[in-house]
Structure 1
Amino acid sequence: MKNILIPTDFSENAWNAIKYALQMFNDEKCTFYFLNTYTPALVSSRFMAASFEGGVLSNAASMLSENGLKEILVKVEDLGPNRKHTYKTISSFSLLVDEVMDTVANYDIDLVVMGTKGATGLEEVFMGSNTVRIIKTVKDCPILAIPNTYEFTRPKEIAFATNFNRFYTKSELKPLVDMAASLGAVVRIVYVQYEIKALSELQQFNLSMLRKYLKDVEHYVHTVSELNSVSKTLEKFSEELGIHLLALLNFQHSYLERLTREPVVSRLAFHSKTPLFVIPELSMATQSRSKSQDEFTFSN
């Protein structure tokens, strides 16, 4: 049984993420937690239910949140019954990131699924600010970020971006390996270089270990030149090879960190057109969880 958390602000963007998750895990026993948070207007955001001016939360805000979650359940049931799925709702007077962290810990969440949507004009960003904050903050379980207009396609091509400078543990890569194996997907390891040059001895060793972990799934290694930014390069790579899912490990100085720090105006913005699978770095906190990453698997 998987426990999957899906934050929602009742937008089409969030609903698209819900539909993706339901289809992705259609054949698995899952409990889906639909979360909506509400706060005073001063700190409300696109992932929080509406509140009123003056910073005083009224009962109406709570009712709006609870009624919105009830409507989500109705819409889910309208998609068709699934005996393998159980649905629960959480309405909370809290900041989104704080509530997501608490829910992950308290409900033994295996995966957080979120919709992504960049801002407009000069504020265009790689992903919506709330999604970025959650990716940076939540370290105990993987996060699946779904672009707002993306229509579900069962992943058959998965790209894993790395520079081979870091040694990955088997446990860290298990979510990726399990997903690829269960879906029969090809893993394309992609290395984005500012300038093409031979791998160092350390990089060669890390690559050999990565291939060892992926020995039971079809995989290939691609080295590509950076185009203005890492994010733009990965976007182009995904388009040309028909990638259905882009996987990244979230650790200090990783590609993911560079993506969320890239200048907006001076470099081309990365409009995420491909679902992003963010795998957390294995830490002492992660190891202490009663349900480790070793238990997070994908099956048909």
Structure 2
Amino acid sequence: MKKILIPTDFSENAWNAIRYAIELFKNEECVFHVLNTYTPAIASSRFMAASIDGATLENGARSRSEGGLKKVIDRIAQLYTNPRHRFKTSSSFSFLVDEIKVMVEELDIDLVVTGTKGASGLEEVFMGSNTVRIIKSIQNCPVLAVPQYFKFITPNEIAFATNFNRFYTKSELRPLREMAKSFNATIRIVHVQNEIKALTELQQFNLSMLRKYLEDVEYFVHTVSELNSISKTLEVFTEELDIHLLAMLNYQHSFLEKISREPVIKRVAFHTQVPLLVIQESGMQSGPQNKNEKLAEISS
């Protein structure tokens, strides 16, 4: 049984992510954990603080959280009656990312699904995004970010953006393969280059291993020239090939560092018009492995 965690702040953006997840896994046995976190409002002055009971503030916040979750479950029940699906709610006096990390670990969550507005390219807004913080902090579980207005389409065309500079493991590619198998989807491996040129020896090796791991699903390799920016190139690519899901691997040690240096994630991840599946690295370094590590992976 698949275990899906969906954080919600009771916005329509979060509701769209819930609907997408329900539709995406309609043919699978699932437990959906719907999470809302809350922190009581802090009194704005010492005069107010003296007259307000902290317990009263917390109780009020908890009541709003629990009431909001009940409305979400009632709304789901009105629209969906899938016997394969069960729903559990969690109201937690905690910070969102902290609670997600705890639940992913304790409940062995398979996937975190979150809504993302992605409406602004401003650095301040981008860096403040809950989605960014979730992906930065959740290291042992894939995250699916669903754009605010995206309506569910069966993902039978999946793009996987890569530059072939990294050696992928089977475990890292498992979410991508499982998604492709579940929907009998075609994987479009897309490599964006400033100028079209031959792959290096390392890139060729990593591509050959990628082909090996994907041999039981249909895939194609696309090398495309960059159009102004990588983000614009991928936007055009997803539109022209009618891509329904974009997948990337988050393999930098510091996601913040990756944001500042990697335009693919910075400009596409939370502004793309299709859902983004971010696959976390499985404890590997971002650089080339040593020979023994590669041989062990190849022979497994």
- The answer to whether the superposition gives a TM-score over 0.5 is yes
Quote the offset at 1:68 in angstroms: 0.2
Q: Distance in 2 between matches of 1:259 and 1:60?
A: 38
Q: Distance in 1 between matches of 2:163 and 2:171?
A: 19
SS at match of 1:238: helix
Q: Distance in 2 between matches of 1:188 and 1:255?
A: 25
- Relative to structure 1, the CA distance from residue 259 to residue 88 in structure 2 (aligned partners, 3 Å threshold; closer, same or farther) is same
Q: Deviations over 1:123-160 (max 9, x none)?
A: 68669711011111101111111000000000010000
Q: For the Cα contact (< 8 Å) 2:155–2:244, is it kept in 1?
A: yes
Quote the offset at 1:85 in angstroms: 0.9
Q: Distance in 1 between matches of 2:30 and 2:268?
A: 38
Q: Distance in 1 between matches of 2:173 and 2:231?
A: 21
Residue matched to 2:85: 85
Are positions 1:137 and 2:137 aligned together? yes
Residue matched to 1:188: 188
Q: For the Cα contact (< 8 Å) 2:136–2:255, is it kept in 1?
A: no
SS at match of 1:87: strand
Q: Specify which structure has the higher proportion of helix.
A: 2
Q: Distance in 2 between matches of 1:111 and 1:4?
A: 5
Q: Deviations over 1:226-268 (max 9, x none)?
A: 23332232222111111000011110189997556568xxx89
Residue matched to 1:34: 34
Q: Distance in 1 between matches of 2:207 and 2:40?
A: 49
- Relative to structure 1, the CA distance from residue 174 to residue 233 in structure 2 (aligned partners, 3 Å threshold; closer, same or farther) is same
Are positions 1:59 and 2:59 aligned together? yes
SS at match of 1:58: helix
Residue matched to 1:231: 231
Q: Deviations over 1:68-105 (max 9, x none)?
A: 00000000101131111111101111111101000101
Give the TM-score of the pair, scaled to structure 2: 0.83
Aligned-residue CA RMSD (Å)? 2.7
Q: For the Cα contact (< 8 Å) 2:136–2:256, is it kept in 1?
A: no
Q: For the Cα contact (< 8 Å) 1:116–1:127, is it kept in 2?
A: no
Quote the offset at 1:173 in angstroms: 0.7
Are positions 1:213 and 2:213 aligned together? yes
- Relative to structure 1, the CA distance from residue 119 to residue 251 in structure 2 (aligned partners, 3 Å threshold; closer, same or farther) is same
Residue matched to 1:278: 278
Q: For the Cα contact (< 8 Å) 1:6–1:113, is it kept in 2?
A: yes
Residue matched to 1:167: 167
Residue matched to 1:249: 249
Seq. identity, %: 66
User: Considering only CA atoms, is the larger Rg found in Structure 1 or Structure 2?
Assistant: 2
Structure 1 residues not aligned, in runs of 5+ = 43-51, 285-300
- Relative to structure 1, the CA distance from residue 61 to residue 255 in structure 2 (aligned partners, 3 Å threshold; closer, same or farther) is closer
Quote the offset at 1:206 in angstroms: 0.6
- Relative to structure 1, the CA distance from residue 195 to residue 40 in structure 2 (aligned partners, 3 Å threshold; closer, same or farther) is farther
Structure 2 residues not aligned, in runs of 5+ = 285-300
Q: Distance in 1 between matches of 2:254 and 2:40?
A: 35
1:52-131 matches, within 5 Å, as 53=44, 57-120=57-120, 122=122, 129-131=129-131
- Relative to structure 1, the CA distance from residue 121 to residue 206 in structure 2 (aligned partners, 3 Å threshold; closer, same or farther) is closer
Q: Distance in 2 between matches of 1:117 and 1:79?
A: 24
Give the TM-score of the pair, scaled to structure 1: 0.83
Q: Deviations over 1:31-71 (max 9, x none)?
A: 100000112446xxxxxxxxx75695432111110000000
Quote the offset at 1:271 in angstroms: 2.3
Quote the offset at 1:172 in angstroms: 1.2
Q: Deviations over 1:267-293 (max 9, x none)?
A: 899622010011111128xxxxxxxxx
Q: For the Cα contact (< 8 Å) 1:118–1:124, is it kept in 2?
A: no
